[in-house]
Structure 1
Amino acid sequence: MTKNMIVTGLAVFVVAVLSPFWFNLVTTTQAAPEPELLGLAKEAKTCVLDKYDMRANHMSLLNEWRGAVVRNADRIYVAANGHSFNMSLSTGENSCLGCHEDKAKFCDACHTYTSVNPYCWECHINPKEIQ
């Protein structure tokens, strides 16, 4: 009787441990979307940070910018590479949407994939969406 319980316990343990591997064999996953670089972003070849830092840290950077603009009236950010950028989501020279013109293809694709609803657009208006 004890031998049967040990074997049953081991079988349950093995099934539980290997279940994630079996689950991955029968399901498919979708790769994260690659943001489309359009317009000036394709031509500029420079951004505030390199693309890997931007993907990982853009939300922190935007929060820092919000504090600098609202509390200190700082509107220009000088990147480590020496380039100056307007701390703005709006369209305009050297701003986020100035280079990344299509919010739907650049921002929304990744935010939808990751189920993130940033509150940026509660205050900021994308000029392309009003037209």
Structure 2
Amino acid sequence: MHYGGKIIAGLIIFLGLVSLPFWFNLGSAAYKQPKVELPKNEKNCVESKEYMRTSHMKLLDQWRDWALRDGKRTYINHNGKEFTISLQNTCMKCHVSKEKFCDKCHNDAGVSPYCWDCHVPPKEAK
């Protein structure tokens, strides 16, 4: 154990250097959700906020299949309210800015949705 002190000191320095990025970013890496302004006559989204944050992609895939393959154009949410199955006419009423809402969230999450392969992206207000 002649080198015991040097080994322990080396391990402490190594662990300090490896964990430095975590300590450096502590508190500064908090994600801020973008704000969504609902239209005056709407109080809620198609589903709950928690559901939409975690599962909107599944809902949009279902909507696509129902609208294009089954001809279904009405969605009834868990509260019994009816919505038209339409990205442009339902979702984009509230999420009016592709750049400030869609792109911000998807870029932060590191995903590339293919919505705009078929749909026309909304024009950004200048």
- TM-score (ref. length: structure 1): 0.74
Distance in 1 between the 2:14 and 2:67 partners? 52
Distance in 1 between the 2:76 and 2:18 partners? 46
Q: Say which SS state the counterpart of residue 77 (structure 1) adopts.
A: strand
What residue ranges of structure 1 are gaps of 5+ in the alignment? Answer: none
What residue ranges of structure 2 are gaps of 5+ in the alignment? Answer: none
Preserved CA contact (<8 Å) 1:33 1:109: no
- Taking the TM superposition and a 5 Å limit, the aligned residue runs for 1:44-123 are 44-90=42-88, 92=89, 95-123=90-118
What is the one-letter code of the residue matched to 1:88? S
Q: 1:14 to 1:103 in 2, by over 3 A?
A: same
Q: Say which SS state the counterpart of residue 44 (structure 1) adopts.
A: coil
Distance in 2 between the 1:112 and 1:76 partners? 30
> Does residue 33 of structure 1 match 2:32?
yes
Distance in 2 between the 1:120 and 1:53 partners? 19
Number of aligned residue pairs: give it: 123
Q: Say which SS state the counterpart of residue 69 (structure 1) adopts.
A: helix
Distance in 2 between the 1:62 and 1:31 partners? 27
What is the one-letter code of the residue matched to 2:29? Q
Runs of 4+ displaced beyond 2 Å: 6-23, 27-33, 126-129
Q: 1:24 to 1:72 in 2, by over 3 A?
A: same
Q: 1:82 to 1:18 in 2, by over 3 A?
A: farther
Deviation of the 1:54 alpha carbon: 0.4
Identity %: 36
